[in-house]
């Protein structure tokens, strides 16, 4: 994350006694270890077994002859990585007392505050810092750290700015002063899934002529990671019901989507015949509701995306 440090509000400009570190909390990734074949003799017709020391996992069981590529270690992220809509952005905020042990200053009442500016909001949003039962302020000795964790659900594409403000009281034997500084951390949030929908009409099942429609949706994985779809549900408006025609209804395995792959889902939406009926907009549209999509990443991290209101124009009877 690129950052910019705002000037201190102190009348006297000098280095701060407190430094701020912001680290993103991300899950590790699996490490693959490919086997190395020993040097082969010229003209040899039989391929030699891989070098044992190069195997990620070695088994004497004959039913597993192929080398297992996943090693027992994991990789920690080496960079900020990508942020996607539907995920929860989490990071730790660390205020560190950088004064030497023999410094003639005492650092008291250290406090951290955080705000998030998103593309669709005119004002910044104040963020809650965890843990919830932790102290909001702390006195820090030399080398001590005040650590807070912040989480934010990413719901929009575009530029996001995390603003972190640190305030503290710097005391000496004869006087003291309150000092404050602020840093901005900027990152881009990308789309995780592209949802394309199409609605078609079906023949009514009863004599009252209650409407029936088929709602199809294509879910394209536009991220850089493999995801497994957990659930796809339709949050219908009053007066409507739906039937799931996807993997949960058929008992099939949850689909896996590699980057660029597409999964098609389908729902049958119908009027439930309630006395209230289905609300029709002034322009003649019936609003079905919103589509909710949940998934998991390679290391189990969850994501959830909700579309806008979906619907169709009501056909003339």
Domain with CATH 2.60.40.10 in the chain: 2-26+78-190, 193-313
pLDDT band at 31 (very low <50, low <70, confident <90, very high): confident
How much is the pTM?
0.78
- Tokens describing residue 307: 């579309």
d(CA 60, CA 48): 16
Residue 249 is predicted with a pLDDT of 86
Identify whether the C-beta of residue 208 lies closer than 8 Å to the C-beta of residue 259: no
- Tens-digit pLDDT profile for residues 188-235: 999 999 999 999 988 876 656 678 899 999 999 999 999 999 999 999
Cβ 288 vs Cβ 236: under 8 Å: yes
Task: In whole angstroms, give the CA distance from residue 21 to residue 140.
Answer: 15
> 3-state class of 156 per DSSP?
coil
Q: How far apart are CA 196 and CA 192, in angstroms?
A: 13
Backbone angles phi, psi at 180, to 5 degrees: -145, 140
- Average pLDDT score over residue span 100-106: 91
Question: Percentage of the chain surpassing pLDDT 90?
Answer: 57
Element spanning 284, H or E: none
How far apart (Å, rounded) are the C-alpha atoms in residues 174 and 182? 27
> What pLDDT band is residue 133 in, cutting at 50, 70 and 90?
confident
Degrees (nearest 5) of the Cα angle 201, 202, 203? Answer: 130
In the 8-state DSSP scheme, what is residue 248? H
User: Dihedral sign, CA of 72, 76, 82, 83?
Assistant: positive
CATH code for residues 193-313: 2.60.40.10
Structure tokens at 87: 């995920």
pLDDT exceeds 60 at position 3: no
In contact, 31 and 211? CB cutoff 8 Å? no
Q: What is the mean pLDDT of residues 275-304?
A: 88
Q: What is the rounded (10 degree) CA torsion for 66, 67, 69, 73? A: 140
Fold of 2-26+78-190: Immunoglobulin-like (2.60.40)
CA-based nearest residue to 120, from 157, 167, 145? 157
Tell me, what's the pLDDT at 6?
44
Helices (H) and strands (E) in the chain, counts: 1, 22
Q: What is the spatial distance between Cα 175 and Cα 105, in angstroms, rounded to a whole number?
A: 10
């Amino acid at each position: 994350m690129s950052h910019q440090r705002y000037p201190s509000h102190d009348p006297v400009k000098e280095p701060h006694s407190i430094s701020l570190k912001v680290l993103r909390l991300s899950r590790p990734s699996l490490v693959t270890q490919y086997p190395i074949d020993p040097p082969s003799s010229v003209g040899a017709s039989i391929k030699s077994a891989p070098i044992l020391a190069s195997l990620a996992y070695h088994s004497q069981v004959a039913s597993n002859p192929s080398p297992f590529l996943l090693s027992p270690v994991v990789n920690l992220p080496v960079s900020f990585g990508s942020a996607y809509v539907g995920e929860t952005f989490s990071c730790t905020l660390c205020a560190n007392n950088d004064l030497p042990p023999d410094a003639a200053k005492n650092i008291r009442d250290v406090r951290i505050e955080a705000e998030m500016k998103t593309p669709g909001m005119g004002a910044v949003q104040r963020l809650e810092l965890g843990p919830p039962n932790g102290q909001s302020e702390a006195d820090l000795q030399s080398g001590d750290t005040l650590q807070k964790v912040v989480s934010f659900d990413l719901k929009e594409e575009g530029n996001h700015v995390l603003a972190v403000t640190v305030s503290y009281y710097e005391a000496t034997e004869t006087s003291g002063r309150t000092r404050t500084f602020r840093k901005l951390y900027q990152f881009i949030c990308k789309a995780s899934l592209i949802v394309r929908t199409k609605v078609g009409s079906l023949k009514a099942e009863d004599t009252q002529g209650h409407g029936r429609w088929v709602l199809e949706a294509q879910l394209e994985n536009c991220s850089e990671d493999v995801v497994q779809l957990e659930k796809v549900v339709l949050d219908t408006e009053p007066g409507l019901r739906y039937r799931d025609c996807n993997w949960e209804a058929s008992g099939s395995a949850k689909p896996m989507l590699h980057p660029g792959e597409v999964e098609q889902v389908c729902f049958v939406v119908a009027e439930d015949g309630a006395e209230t009926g289905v609300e029709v907009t002034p322009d003649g549209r019936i609003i079905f509701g919103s589509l909710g999509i949940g998934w998991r990443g390679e290391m189990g991290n969850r994501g959830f995306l909700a579309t806008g209101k979906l619907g169709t124009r009501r056909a003339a009877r």
